[in-house]
Amino acid sequence: MLNTSPNIPDPDGFFAELLALHDGKSKAQSDALNAKIILILANHIGDQTVLSAALKAAISQQGDLT
Protein backbone atom coordinates (compact mmCIF):
# COMPACT_ATOMS: atom_id res chain seq x y z
CA MET A 1 0.00 0.00 0.00
CA LEU A 2 1.30 3.45 -0.96
CA ASN A 3 1.66 5.87 1.94
CA THR A 4 0.83 9.39 0.74
CA SER A 5 0.52 10.88 4.22
CA PRO A 6 3.36 13.05 5.54
CA ASN A 7 6.04 10.59 6.67
CA ILE A 8 9.37 12.46 6.73
CA PRO A 9 10.38 13.54 10.26
CA ASP A 10 12.11 16.72 9.00
CA PRO A 11 10.57 17.55 5.61
CA ASP A 12 12.10 21.04 5.48
CA GLY A 13 15.56 19.64 6.23
CA PHE A 14 15.16 16.96 3.58
CA PHE A 15 13.98 19.51 1.01
CA ALA A 16 16.93 21.79 1.80
CA GLU A 17 19.32 18.85 1.37
CA LEU A 18 17.68 17.92 -1.93
CA LEU A 19 17.92 21.48 -3.23
CA ALA A 20 21.57 21.71 -2.16
CA LEU A 21 22.36 18.65 -4.31
CA HIS A 22 21.24 20.64 -7.35
CA ASP A 23 23.28 23.79 -6.63
CA GLY A 24 25.49 24.70 -9.57
CA LYS A 25 24.13 21.96 -11.82
CA SER A 26 22.71 22.51 -15.28
CA LYS A 27 19.12 21.53 -16.06
CA ALA A 28 20.38 18.34 -17.75
CA GLN A 29 22.57 17.48 -14.75
CA SER A 30 19.67 18.11 -12.33
CA ASP A 31 17.35 15.96 -14.44
CA ALA A 32 19.93 13.14 -14.46
CA LEU A 33 20.39 13.45 -10.69
CA ASN A 34 16.62 13.28 -10.14
CA ALA A 35 16.42 10.18 -12.33
CA LYS A 36 19.19 8.52 -10.30
CA ILE A 37 17.42 9.36 -7.04
CA ILE A 38 14.13 7.95 -8.37
CA LEU A 39 15.78 4.71 -9.50
CA ILE A 40 17.65 4.27 -6.21
CA LEU A 41 14.47 4.79 -4.17
CA ALA A 42 12.41 2.58 -6.50
CA ASN A 43 14.97 -0.19 -6.08
CA HIS A 44 14.84 0.28 -2.30
CA ILE A 45 11.03 -0.01 -2.32
CA GLY A 46 11.15 -2.99 -4.67
CA ASP A 47 7.39 -3.63 -4.62
CA GLN A 48 5.94 -3.30 -8.14
CA THR A 49 2.42 -2.66 -6.80
CA VAL A 50 3.62 0.23 -4.63
CA LEU A 51 5.74 1.63 -7.45
CA SER A 52 2.80 1.49 -9.88
CA ALA A 53 0.58 3.22 -7.32
CA ALA A 54 3.22 5.95 -6.93
CA LEU A 55 3.31 6.50 -10.69
CA LYS A 56 -0.48 6.79 -10.79
CA ALA A 57 -0.47 9.16 -7.79
CA ALA A 58 2.13 11.37 -9.48
CA ILE A 59 0.00 11.64 -12.62
CA SER A 60 -3.17 12.41 -10.65
CA GLN A 61 -1.33 15.13 -8.66
CA GLN A 62 0.46 16.57 -11.72
CA GLY A 63 -1.62 19.75 -11.58
CA ASP A 64 -0.19 20.46 -8.11
CA LEU A 65 3.28 20.97 -9.63
CA THR A 66 2.41 24.01 -11.70
pLDDT score of 64? 64
pLDDT in tens, 30-56: 999 999 999 999 999 999 999 999 999
Which tops the pLDDT comparison, 9 or 63? 9
Q: CA-CA distance, 62 to 3, in Å (whole number)?
A: 17
Please tell me whether residue 65 adopts helix, strand or coil conformation.
Answer: helix
pLDDT in tens, 5-31: 999 999 999 999 999 999 999 999 999
Q: CA-CA distance, 39 to 45, in Å (whole number)?
A: 10
Question: What's the pTM?
Answer: 0.83
Q: What does 1-64 look like in DSSP terms, one character per residue? A: ----S---SSHHHHHHHHHHHHTT--HHHHHHHHHHHHHHHHHHH--HHHHHHHHHHHHHTGGG
* Per-domain residue ranges of the chain: 26-65
pLDDT score of 61? 84
